[in-house]
Structure 1
């Protein structure tokens, strides 16, 4: 009797672990395919992987793109046959208990050198979709002072404008 109970517990644990692994694999595949769609300038495939209310946060402080605005911004790049090329070299994926929300962080090999992406996905009609994505340029800590000097003037002006809007 005790062995049957332990066997059942192990089976349940295995099934739960397998389900999580499968969902993580689906998220991982979707993200890889999303990056590949951009590299191949496949506009429809790229945006089909995002929710209709998806958000893309770019590396510039002014880049907070709601889905339609991001499509408008991106379309000329895709139409030229060359959008951007990101490939993950490291990725961490996390799932909520219901396995309908996932969040992740990734290090990317890009034309801007090493970048970091992070975001949130949600399941819509049984399929994972990117709801929110943040791209940032990875800056070594020892170079932050130099970067601050490069950004200082523009950031100061932008801060004045943003504070006026509050």
Structure 2
């Protein structure tokens, strides 16, 4: 019985260790993706997206395919600096099949704290961003004022 428990314990530790390793790998992938924008490395930034990726920006009109987002973002990258988003915290979740992962992150920006959420898919040996949404945070105590401003501008 001791040996069964020992083997079971080793299996559980191995599974947790593998999960932590993959989470770290995905965390680095996402961080490098954000760094590519800050360095205006358009190739690295857009190579991280799958061909059918979607990027949803902070404005209600900002729903982009990879191609339309590339066209919109190109002038920013061409000037030598696109944008800088640095994660304050990030939570990564991995599907049991280890081919799909999703994450949420609090981001520091020059405009304050934002939230990003995304979905990754593994194709072959490579991970790709399938979907990313960027949102501006609004403190609850300021929501009423913000809603009034938004209504007055419609």
- Cα displacement string for residues 140-164 of structure 1 (whole angstroms, at most 9, x for unaligned residues): 001111111221144x4xxxxxxxx
Q: What residue is the counterpart of 2:34 in the other structure?
A: 35
- In structure 2, the gaps of 5 or more residues are none
Mapped partners of 2:144, 2:65: distance in 1:
31
Q: CA deviation at 1:109?
A: 0.3
Tell me the secondary structure at the aligned position of residue 81 of structure 1. Answer: coil
Q: What residue is the counterpart of 2:19 in the other structure?
A: 20
Mapped partners of 1:73, 1:26: distance in 2:
29
Q: CA deviation at 1:90?
A: 0.6
| Residue 44 (structure 1) aligned with residue 29 (structure 2) | no
Mapped partners of 1:113, 1:61: distance in 2:
19
Q: What residue is the counterpart of 2:10 in the other structure?
A: 11
Q: What residue is the counterpart of 1:65 in the other structure?
A: 64
Tell me the secondary structure at the aligned position of residue 104 of structure 2. Answer: strand
Pairwise mapping of residues 1-166 of structure 1 onto structure 2 (< 5 A)?
2-154=1-153, 156=154
Aligned residues: 154
TM (normalized to structure 2)?
0.96
Tell me the secondary structure at the aligned position of residue 41 of structure 1. Answer: coil
Mapped partners of 2:58, 2:89: distance in 1:
19
Mapped partners of 1:142, 1:68: distance in 2:
38
Q: Where in structure 1 do 4 or more consecutive aligned residues deviate above 6 Å?
A: none
Q: Tell me if structure 2 keeps the 8 A contact 1:37–1:45.
A: yes
- In structure 1, the gaps of 5 or more residues are 157-166
How large is the RMSD of aligned CA atoms in angstroms? 1.0
Tell me the secondary structure at the aligned position of residue 11 of structure 1. Answer: helix
Mapped partners of 2:151, 2:21: distance in 1:
45
- Cα displacement string for residues 126-145 of structure 1 (whole angstroms, at most 9, x for unaligned residues): 22211100000010001111
